[in-house]
């Protein structure tokens, strides 16, 4: 019998009645766009992470684009980001005519290397062709980036900081969420994420009221905020028909918000369950593979993926597949090596760690409901395969 890489049905079996009832309530009241569940879920998100404002949107990619729009990113601006990440992280930068600048990663965590970031910023400044504007740090595989160090670099150079927590919403450093350091935190509710809905969805968090108001405007076609209405003397008109800025259509569907309300209610427990699975994997695989996941002291991963390193990866995956064990390779071709992105700058000295890790990483089944017998089967299969 095959093993699920991410078993969404196990979670559904746990909360199916509650989710079905939540969906039914939306069908009953009929407010399918920006219904009451949307604002309720945003409040629950803020309560979970301690952010002052949570602004939901249509997906995790637009969650990254919206704050860059709010900060008026322009041609010749530079945004620094890792190359070892999903396309969306860098994709949104050229949308606005700006340039991503790719930096290397830490060999243990796979997250942005603050030293490579510093070197990249200094080189861009020295060349004078681009204007450093922002940094997008990624919480890869669920572990927070080194925000204390990255924030220090951003403050030194006057740059905005985005936490791309598409894989890491819920991760912490010494109990603090990335919003403690980042100007905005973005996330994705793609179904396979630790906190996922049953379609597309995303959100942005910030502690800045002005930015929150801009994000709310931009996600709904640049609609007028209350401040816009007051300044223009508008009264008796719907804000969505008054558009003082160019925005986009990026709203979280009410049905998805209703589903997420039921999922966030069990999310803290699911993080604990993922941690238990990860620790058990580490205990079973350490010493048998090149590297098991390393989590820094005081850091809490939400374990979006469980990623090891092996030699002869393709042969290992073939042997796993023969035993009914699924696996996945994330980012076999880093962003800076993909055709549309080769023209953009890289940190001085290139990205040697990124280019080494792309050859050895492989991810194993990971979800909160992975039982011990199934996990033992995966562990033994990996030992045999390597």
Q: How distant, in Å, are the alpha carbons of 141, 203, 285, 386 from that of 290?
A: 18, 36, 10, 10
- Is 223 in contact with 242 (CB distance < 8 Å)? yes
SS3 346: strand
Where do you find CATH 3.90.1150.10 in the chain? 268-385
Looking only at the bridges linking them, the beta strands covering 77-82 and 131-138 are parallel
pTM (2 d.p.): 0.96
List alpha helices for 108-208, DSSP H.
114-127, 147-157
- Is 88 in contact with 166 (CB distance < 8 Å)? yes
**pLDDT score for 378:** 98
Q: Which residues of the chain have pLDDT under 50?
A: none
Q: How distant, in Å, are the alpha carbons of 81, 150, 211, 215, 223 from that of 234?
A: 41, 43, 22, 21, 13
Where do you find CATH 3.40.640.10 in the chain? 8-264
**pLDDT score for 1:** 56
**pLDDT score for 243:** 86
Architecture of domain 8-264: 3-Layer(aba) Sandwich (3.40)
Topology of domain 268-385, CATH: 3.90.1150
Q: pLDDT, tens digit, for every residue of 109-139?
A: 999 999 999 999 999 999 999 999 999 999 9
Separation of alpha carbons 30 and 40, rounded Å: 16
C-alpha R_g of the chain: 21
Contacts for 332-335 with beta carbons within 8 Å, 24 or more apart?
332/358, 333/358, 334/83, 334/84, 334/102, 334/358, 335/82, 335/83, 335/84, 335/85, 335/87, 335/89, 335/90, 335/100, 335/102
């Amino acid at each position: 019998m095959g093993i699920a890489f991410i078993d969404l049905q196990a979670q559904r079996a746990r909360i199916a009645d509650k989710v079905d009832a939540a969906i039914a309530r939306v069908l009953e009241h009929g407010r399918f766009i920006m219904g009451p569940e949307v604002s309720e879920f945003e409040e629950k998100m803020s309560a979970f992470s301690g952010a002052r404002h949570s602004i939901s949107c249509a997906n995790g990619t637009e969650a990254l684009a919206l704050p860059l729009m709010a900060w008026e990113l322009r041609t010749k601006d530079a945004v620094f980001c890792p190359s070892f990440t999903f396309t969306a992280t860098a994709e949104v930068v050229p949308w606005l005519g700006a340039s991503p600048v790719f930096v290397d990663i830490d060999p243990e965590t796979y997250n942005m290397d603050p030293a490579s970031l510093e070197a990249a910023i200094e080189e861009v400044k020295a060349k004078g062709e681009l204007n450093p504007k922002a940094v997008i740090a990624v919480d890869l595989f669920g572990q927070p980036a080194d925000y204390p160090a990255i924030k220090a670099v951003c403050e030194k150079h006057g740059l905005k900081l985005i936490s791309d927590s598409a894989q890491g919403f819920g991760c912490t450093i010494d109990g603090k969420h990335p919003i403690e350091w980042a100007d905005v935190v973005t996330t994705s509710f793609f179904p396979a994420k630790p906190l996922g809905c049953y379609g597309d969805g995303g959100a942005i968090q910030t502690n800045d009221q002005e930015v929150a108001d801009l994000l709310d405007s931009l996600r709904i076609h640049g609609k007028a905020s209350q401040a816009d209405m007051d300044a223009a003397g508008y009264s008796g008109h719907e804000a969505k028909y008054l558009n003082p800025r160019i925005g986009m259509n990026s709203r979280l569907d009410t049905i998805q918000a209703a589903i997420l309300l039921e999922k966030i209610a069990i999310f803290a427990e699911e993080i604990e369950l993922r941690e238990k699975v990860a620790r058990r994997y580490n205990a079973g695989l350490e010493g048998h593979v090149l590297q098991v996941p390393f989590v820094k002291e005081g850091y809490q991963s939400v374990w979006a993926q469980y990623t090891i390193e092996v030699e002869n990866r393709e042969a290992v995956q073939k042997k796993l597949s023969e035993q009914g064990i699924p696996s996945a390779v994330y980012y076999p071709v880093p962003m800076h090596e993909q055709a549309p992105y080769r023209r953009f700058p890289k940190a001085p000295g290139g990205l040697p760690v990124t280019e080494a890790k792309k050859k050895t990483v492989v991810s194993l089944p990971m979800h909160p409901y992975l039982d011990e017998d199934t996990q033992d089967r995966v562990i033994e299969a990996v030992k045999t395969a390597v």
